[in-house]
Structure formats: C-alpha cells, structure tokens
Amino acid sequence: MLVDQRRSQILEIIEMKGFSALQDLVSEVGVSESTIRRDLENLDRNGQIRRTRGGAAYVGESLTDFDDRRHRARPQKQLVARTVAELIGSGETVLLDGGTTTLEVARQLQGKSLQVVTNSLPIVNVLLNQPKIELIQIGGFVYPKTGVALGALAVEAIGRIHARRLIMSVGGITERGLFNSNALLVETERAMMDSAEEVIVVTDSGKLGHAALARLCPLEEIDHLVVDGGISHEWRDRIESLGVCLTVVEPEPTEDPVTEMVEQTG
C-alpha cells in the first residue's frame, strides 16, 4: 500500500470513530506500530487529527460533508465560476472534476452547447436536463462524502477520453504544489490531467498556503489558475514566476451611495 493510501485509510478510520486507539489502528491497517506513529505525526502536522495519549482524535476538514463545504466561501466560488465559464466556447469537450467550486462552474455552463464529462454525481444532477449539453458520466467507486466516482474503474474510463479542458478543484495549494483530501481522488485527478489539453484549477484564496492529505502535482504542471481577489501579492508573484497563467477575479465595484445621490439631484 502506498503511503498516501495508508494515511487516507487511517484518516477515514479516525473520522468514522471520532477517536481511534493506536493498537486498533495497527490491527486495522496491518502495519507496524512505528509506522502508524509516523503517519499520525504527519496527519497531526497537517491539522487533520490531534494526537492524544494512546491514539488520535479527528479534527480535520478534509473529509467534511459536501453539503457543508459547498457553502464555505460561496460568493468567491461563484465569481470564479462565472469567469471560468466565459472561457469555454461552444462545442468544446470539457472534463469537470468533482468539488464545490466545479459545481458552481457547472451551474454557469447551463444553456451552453457542450460535451461535459464528469465523475461527479452532484454535477450530473445539475446538468442532466440541459438539452444543449451532451453529458457523459464516469463510473467507479462512488465516494460517499462527495458523490464522486474514484478508483480503478474511473481511471480506466478517463484514459479512453480526450477533452479540450479540464476544470478541477483542490483541497490546498502550497509551495510544494497541489493537494487533495485522499489518495484515490488524487489518482483519478492525475488521469484527468493526462486526458486534457489544458488544465484549469479553480479555487478560493483561502486554500492558498494550506496542504491536504495527498499531493497531486507541482504547481507548474497546471496551465491556468483562477482565484478570487483574496490572493496575496506573494502568491501572485510565485504563481506567475512558474509560468502558470493567473486570473484573479475581483468583485464588481458597488455604486457609491453618496455619488449616486449627487448624480440624481444634479
């Protein structure tokens, strides 16, 4: 078992139980106590668990319910989604990864004439009755927290398609690259990246500087990053220095009420 897969399994066990004893993890995962200790230290550093005497407690957010995460930073995600949807031309084949930001992108694609390929049940539900969209659903093991198809069947199916663009979301971005919440998800996303001409990552600025459980790829392997205006100057410089196209979406300015009143009375 790969390190990322093992740590993902450990995290899922701890989340399900709320707390898991060290010896229970040794028995369930089938590795040595020293290996489990190292994995728990890694998960603790990432803020996903809290080490306790004799075990670990779940405190992370990487596997929180999709409906809960959907409402976090939603205005920023909607701004990003509108901008990305404007990049997509009629007749394109678009590969949509599962995620709360890509779900907002799917909403913005309604009414366009497209081929959309996705492994996300929430996105399928949004686009199912759109007469101009030819919808292709990727199958596989459906991860219950997000409704996204993952694993070997999904990877095999993705390998048979070709898309003009991949639009994907991530769990975190650091200097080391892009991260997501579990190894199966990362494996599926890597297959998606191989099947697309252009990789567009959509995210809210709150994910910059934070890692998740499994590393997806270095930053320079993506083509385009679309993010809201909360991004710092340091992150702007870092991304642009790597040759990644950066689009920063600023909120539309609101009318100054004083100016508006002067115009009305003048």
CA distance 59 to 15: 8
Residue entry with tokens 């996303």? 189
- Any residues with CB less than 8 A from the CB of 248 and at least 6 apart, and which? 227, 228, 229, 231, 236
CA distance 35 to 119: 33
218, amino acid identity: P
pTM for the structure as a whole? 0.70
CA nearest to 10, candidates 51, 85, 20, 239: 20
Predicted pLDDT at 91: 95
Predicted pLDDT at 89: 92
Predicted pLDDT at 62: 41
pLDDT in tens, the chain (266 residues): 688 888 888 987 887 666 788 999 999 999 999 999 999 998 888 767 878 878 887 664 444 455 455 545 567 788 899 999 999 999 999 999 988 889 999 999 999 999 999 999 999 989 988 999 999 999 988 877 778 998 889 999 999 999 999 999 998 999 999 998 878 889 999 999 999 999 999 998 889 998 888 899 999 999 999 999 999 999 999 999 999 999 999 876 654 444 444 444 44
Predicted pLDDT at 226: 96
Contact 124/118 with Cβ under 8 angstroms? yes
**Secondary structure element (H or E) that encloses residue 249, with its range:** strand 245-249
CA distance 194 to 155: 11
Contact 213/8 with Cβ under 8 angstroms? yes
CA nearest to 43, candidates 218, 181, 189: 181
Sign of CA dihedral 198, 203, 207, 211: negative
- Any residues with CB less than 8 A from the CB of 175 and at least 6 apart, and which? 219, 238
Predicted pLDDT at 265: 42
